[in-house]
Amino acid sequence: MRYSKGNGVTSEDKASITPNIALALTQVLSENGIAPARMLARFGLAVSDLEDPSFRLSHRQTSGMIAHAISLLPALPLGLLVGGKQTVSSLGMVGFAMMTSATFGEAIAHCLKYHKEGGTMVDIDFTATEQECTAVFRNPGDNAITAFLVEEVTAHLMNIGQAMLGTRTLLLRMEFQYPAPPYAAHYRQLFNCPMQFSAPRNCIVVDASLFEVPLVTHNPLAQRQALEHLQRMAMRDPDTPDLIESVESAFRRNWASPPNMAEIAGTLNLTERTLRRHLDQCGMSFQQIRAQMQERRARNLLETRQLTQSEIAEQLGFTDVRSFRRAFKAWTGETPGDYRSNHSASNYQ
């Protein structure tokens, strides 16, 4: 892990990637007799983390998982399999904005603008003429996983195109910078178009007329709501280090009996001293992370659940309700009772 005092973390360590690829990867591993939990444990994670809508991975974590999976299953077209697991709905709110678009071209425009919020790891450059539209894919990270990432994004886009456009011919041609892999026949079977390996770029080329095709799922109101949500997602703080995200995940998995620092360090394959040093380099302490997690959880439970304060205290790992009340007052300046009266969801119904 590479943390730098002052700047906090490198771009590789910022927890900003929606874990769609990682979750699909665990499914492929499981189907091939490999327990996903063992791979995830190398990174201090569990499958439940990847299923958490608020959870984010860093580029370093995701790249590491992909590289490890490739080493476990080197003969498989892993990127094609992972991309094939994903549909337009796998993109979450990005997919919803696409499905409610007026035309296929508008849907692709939203995909290009918000594809990182959907978990894509490549950069996409798009150009169009009257006859053709070209999407060029660039991997800004580890070259060793470029083939996987190109396979994943192109297979995923094929699923999206087929779902939105039906049986139309989607691709005019494809180009890949890397040599043809041993399983190149899988490419030809899936994409069914002319393709060139060892080319100057990674790209797909489609007929421009496809972008004018209207979508039967168009809904302007639903689309507006989706785009407003995506704009808020795009403003999400991208600077949370993956280490802090992993520590927070450990708390989320064990609210009633929060793990101590030594236990979390063990799940991350670190010593307690090393974990403390890394957290210090991120500008946080273990106690601060735990308190912030407890505060956010307490606010949520008070706003949305009809639990007693004693039940909330127990869920958050406090020894008694008085300790919870003192802590909550220190966090917010309000007692739990006053906070619930002022912020309960029932007040807005």
Residue with tokens 């706003």: 303
Pairing of strands 203-207, 132-138: antiparallel
Q: Which one, of 81, 84, 86, 64, lies nearest residue 29 by Cα? A: 81
pLDDT, tens only, 199-246: 999 999 999 999 999 999 999 999 999 888 887 766 555 556 777 777
User: What is the spatial distance between Cα 26 and Cα 72, in angstroms, rounded to a whole number?
Assistant: 12
Q: Residues with Cβ < 8 Å from 187, sequence gap 6 or more? A: 77, 80, 174, 181, 195
The residue among 300 and 83 whose pLDDT is bigger is 83
pLDDT confidence bin for 97, thresholds 50/70/90: very high
User: What is the spatial distance between Cα 98 and Cα 106, in angstroms, rounded to a whole number?
Assistant: 7
pLDDT, tens only, 51-71: 887 788 888 889 999 999 999
* 255, pLDDT greater than 80: no
* 312, pLDDT greater than 50: yes
Looking at residue 349, what is its pLDDT?
Answer: 41
pLDDT, tens only, 21-54: 999 999 999 999 999 998 888 888 888 888 887 7
User: What is the spatial distance between Cα 157 and Cα 163, in angstroms, rounded to a whole number?
Assistant: 10
3-state secondary structure of 151: helix
Judge if pTM exceeds 0.75. no
pLDDT, tens only, 107-128: 999 998 888 778 888 999 999 9
CA–CA distances in Å: residue 212 to residues 88, 103, 146, 154, 217: 19, 6, 31, 21, 15
| Helix axes of 286-304 and 321-332: crossing angle, nearest 10 degrees | 100
* 166, pLDDT greater than 50: yes
CA–CA distances in Å: residue 227 to residues 19, 100, 113, 115, 224: 20, 10, 11, 13, 5
pLDDT, tens only, 315-336: 888 889 999 999 999 998 999 9
Is the C-alpha dihedral spanning 43, 46, 49, 50 positive or negative?
positive
Structure-block tokens of residue 263:
């236990």
Looking at residue 252, what is its pLDDT?
Answer: 77
Is the C-alpha dihedral spanning 12, 17, 21, 24 positive or negative?
positive
Domain ranges of the chain: 3-234, 242-348
Q: Which long-range contacts (CB under 8 A, 24 or more apart) does 293-296 make?
A: 293/248, 293/251, 293/252, 294/327, 295/328, 295/331, 295/332
CATH of the domain spanning 3-234: 3.90.1520
Q: What is the mean pLDDT of the chain?
A: 86
User: What is the spatial distance between Cα 80 and Cα 312, in angstroms, rounded to a whole number?
Assistant: 45
Residues across the chain: 349
User: What is the spatial distance between Cα 335 and Cα 302, in angstroms, rounded to a whole number?
Assistant: 11
CB 204 within 8 A of CB 154: yes
Give alpha helix (H) positions in the chain. 20-31, 36-41, 47-50, 59-72, 78-84, 93-99, 104-114, 146-165, 184-191, 220-234, 242-253, 261-267, 272-281, 286-304, 309-315, 321-332, 336-343
Domain 242-348 superfamily per CATH: Homeodomain-like (1.10.10.60)
CB 303 within 8 A of CB 343: yes
Structure-block tokens of residue 202:
């990674």
Percent of the chain with pLDDT over 90: 48
Q: Which one, of 261, 260, 297, lies nearest residue 280 by Cα? A: 261
Q: Which one, of 315, 307, 318, lies nearest residue 252 by Cα? A: 315
Q: Which one, of 290, 184, 311, 194, lies nearest residue 244 by Cα? A: 290
